[in-house]
């Protein structure tokens, strides 16, 4: 998979998660809001950068932001430590909060997670951006 697709997947994931953070009750199984804020605190992300990510502005990308993205993607349950992705978790998330049909969500999942090059911090951020870019 080309690097731009990975970036798009991670962007989509981060943006979607950011958009949904305030509207997801913890009873839905995923504590998206909690994951987002715990990782923000863990990586001491500047509030302007945090707000930019929540708004889908991935131009604030840096190595610190990439590692924040990995923290979030893992804590949200989208990715495991071994760089495998949780298909059902991602599809449920996309179907619940995006305008994508089940078929489109499956296509986005495949496009964003196939052929990824496992690189700490970078891979998760790119997958998140890709999902975010394609969720709506």
Q: How high is the pLDDT of residue 115?
A: 86
Going residue by residue through the chain (136 aa), what tens digit of pLDDT does each one get?
Answer: 455 554 454 454 555 544 444 333 333 346 778 898 999 999 999 999 989 988 889 999 999 999 999 999 999 999 999 999 999 988 888 887 776 688 888 998 999 999 888 999 999 999 989 988 887 5
Q: How high is the pLDDT of residue 99?
A: 63
Supply angle C-alpha 131, 77, 55, rounded to 5: 40
Residues with Cβ within 8 Å of residue 87, at least 6 apart in sequence: 109, 113
Q: How high is the pLDDT of residue 4?
A: 53
Q: How high is the pLDDT of residue 121?
A: 93
Q: Collapsing DSSP states into helix, strand and coil, what is residue 79?
A: strand
The structural domains of the chain, ordered by start, are 31-135 (1.10.238.20)
What's the rounded Cα separation, in Å, for the pair 20 and 81? Answer: 24
Q: How high is the pLDDT of residue 67?
A: 95
Judge if pTM exceeds 0.85: no
């Amino acid at each position: 998979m080309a690097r731009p697709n990975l970036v798009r997947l991670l962007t989509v994931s981060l943006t979607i998660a950011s958009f949904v953070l305030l509207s997801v009750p913890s009873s839905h199984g995923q504590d998206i809001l909690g994951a987002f804020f715990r990782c923000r605190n863990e990586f001491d992300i500047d509030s302007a950068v945090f707000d930019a990510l929540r708004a889908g502005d991935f131009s604030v990308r840096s190595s610190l932001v990439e590692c924040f993205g990995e923290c979030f993607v893992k804590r949200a349950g989208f990715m495991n430590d071994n760089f495998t992705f949780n298909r059902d978790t991602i599809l449920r998330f996309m179907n619940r909060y995006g305008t994508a049909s089940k078929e489109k969500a499956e296509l986005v999942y495949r496009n964003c997670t196939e052929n990824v090059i496992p690189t700490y911090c970078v891979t998760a951020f790119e997958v998140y951006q890709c999902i975010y870019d394609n969720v709506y």
